[in-house]
């Protein structure tokens, strides 16, 4: 098996969800677009009630078309213990620019809450995002959505969550598993292996593991290997997964690039369509700069091909 890299350092800070910087030398600023350019926005939609409170989503719609509108569901990062669904909070972030592009192409975009690790541990996060997708599908006629053309997209911790849901889409017995209508998964710099094996290979990340992974799993992977494996997308793939797009910077300081390369190779070995795009010199969160347009263009082309 290809070398597995500890994902313990994934998105432990809130910067992960929004990117690292707004500008780089020589790059002209991009004018912000209100509401990501959506024709309509339905905010604060309650999709589930938990003991810890309501879970909500925001839905951005393009102009109504003659046919049902395909949907992309975005899941935020933040180390599972931080972050927010407000995708348009920073209009200069790559996530915002990508969502704007999708809306221009006629896709609806939903951004969803999930329980953070301060109130719930895995697999609650998988269940929450899956419930949000199902709620949108069940209410698809209300907004003219196509329940059978859904893409999942997440960044960092959100990339981990959507990768897991893609991995277990063919297994309804697993938490969050059995989603239907999922045409594609877009993973931005998310971890795919939380296992004890990965932890052993990277003991220098122990501090990160104790803070982030223990918060998610309720234990260190070495103490609960079955729990860690169950929450690792790379250890749950079957060959039934939808196409995957994985995008990550080569200088990612939180999630080693090798982890995404291994995940992509494992998916391909089972016959899954995978695009793996590393971006030279970019850190976790991408930031904004000359490669932002390429990142957005790649996501755009992939979604239009598969969703």
- For residue 9, being part of any structural domain is answered with no
- For residue 7, being part of any structural domain is answered with no
| pTM: predicted TM-score of the whole model, two decimal places | 0.88
- For residue 3, being part of any structural domain is answered with no
Q: CA-CA distance, 131 to 86, in Å (whole number)? A: 19
State pLDDT tens for residues 245-293: 999 999 988 888 999 999 999 999 999 999 999 999 999 999 888 999 9
**14 pLDDT exceeds 60?**
no
Measured over the CA atoms of residue 75, residue 171, residue 241 and residue 302, the dihedral's sign is negative
Name the nearest CA neighbour of 159 among 265, 55, 73, 287. Answer: 73
Omega prior to 225 cis, within 30 of 0:
no
**144 pLDDT exceeds 90?**
yes
Confidence of residue 32 (pLDDT cuts 50, 70, 90): low
State pLDDT tens for residues 195-248: 877 766 666 555 765 688 899 999 988 899 999 999 999 999 999 999 999 999
Find the CATH number of the domain harbouring 186: 3.40.50.1820
- For residue 2, being part of any structural domain is answered with no
The tally of domains found in the chain comes to 1
- For residue 4, being part of any structural domain is answered with no
- For residue 216, being part of any structural domain is answered with yes
Q: Which tokens belong to 216?
A: 């998610």
- For residue 31, being part of any structural domain is answered with no
- For residue 218, being part of any structural domain is answered with yes
User: By residue range, what is the domain housing residue 42?
Assistant: 15-23+37-306
Q: Using an 8 Å Cβ cutoff, are 248 and 216 in contact?
A: no
Q: CA-CA distance, 111 to 89, in Å (whole number)? A: 12
C-alpha triplet 92, 125, 269: angle, nearest 5°: 85
């Amino acid at each position: 098996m290809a070398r597995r890299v500890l994902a313990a350092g994934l998105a432990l800070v809130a910067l992960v969800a929004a990117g690292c910087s707004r500008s780089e030398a020589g790059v002209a600023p991009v004018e912000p677009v209100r509401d990501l350019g959506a024709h309509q926005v339905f905010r604060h939609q309650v999709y589930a009630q938990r003991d810890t409170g309501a879970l909500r989503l925001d839905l951005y719609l393009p102009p109504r078309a003659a046919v049902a509108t395909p949907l992309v569901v975005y899941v935020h990062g933040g180390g599972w213990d931080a972050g927010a669904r407000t995708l348009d909070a920073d209009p200069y972030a790559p996530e915002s620019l990508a969502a704007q592009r999708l809306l221009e192409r006629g896709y609806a975009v939903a951004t969803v809450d999930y329980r953070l690790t301060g109130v719930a541990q895995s697999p609650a996060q998988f269940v929450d995002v899956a419930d949000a997708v199902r709620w949108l599908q069940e209410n698809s006629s209300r907004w003219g959505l196509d329940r059978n053309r859904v893409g999942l997209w997440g960044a960092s911790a959100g990339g981990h969550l959507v990768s897991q849901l893609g991995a277990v889409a063919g297994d309804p017995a697993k938490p969050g598993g059995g989603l239907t209508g999922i045409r594609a998964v877009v993973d931005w710099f998310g971890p795919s292996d939380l296992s004890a094996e990965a932890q052993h290979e990277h003991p220098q990340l122990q501090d990160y593991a104790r803070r982030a992974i223990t918060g998610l799993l309720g234990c260190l992977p070495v103490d609960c290997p079955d729990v860690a494996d169950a929450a690792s997308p790379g250890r749950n793939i079957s060959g039934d997964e939808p196409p995957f797009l994985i995008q990550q910077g080569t200088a990612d300081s939180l999630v080693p690039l090798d982890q995404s390369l291994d995940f992509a190779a494992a998916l391909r070995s089972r016959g899954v369509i995978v695009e793996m795009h590393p971006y030279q010199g970019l850190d976790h969160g991408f930031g904004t700069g000359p490669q932002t347009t390429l990142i957005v263009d790649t996501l755009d082309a992939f979604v239009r091909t598969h969703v």
